[in-house]
Amino acid sequence: LLASLNLDEQDFIIEFVKSSGSLKEMARHLGLSYPSVRNRLDELISKIETIQNS
């Protein structure tokens, strides 16, 4: 599953784990707003669900 994601998506997951799932911490580390990080996570969740249901 993870291998089917692009490198940016894999990096996002790594940052998510490193920040213990704190989107606020991720936003600070990535230099993005909280809503931007939330949107990226939602898009990634949707993509993972699509892959799993294929």
**What is the number of residues in the chain?**
54
The position carrying tokens 């931007």 is 36
Rg (alpha carbons) of the chain, rounded to whole number: 11
pLDDT at residue 15 in the model: 96
5 φψ region: left (φ > 0), alpha (ψ -120 to 50), beta (else): beta
Nearest to 11 by CA among 28, 24, 30: 30
pLDDT of residue 42: 99
Q: What is the pLDDT of residue 5?
A: 97
pLDDT in tens, 1-54: 899 999 999 999 999 999 999 999 999 999 999 999 999 999 999 999 999 999
Q: Where are the domains of the chain?
A: 2-52
Whether residue 2 contacts residue 44, with contact meaning beta carbons closer than 8 Å, is answered with: no
- Residue 31: the pLDDT is 97
> pTM for the complete prediction?
0.89
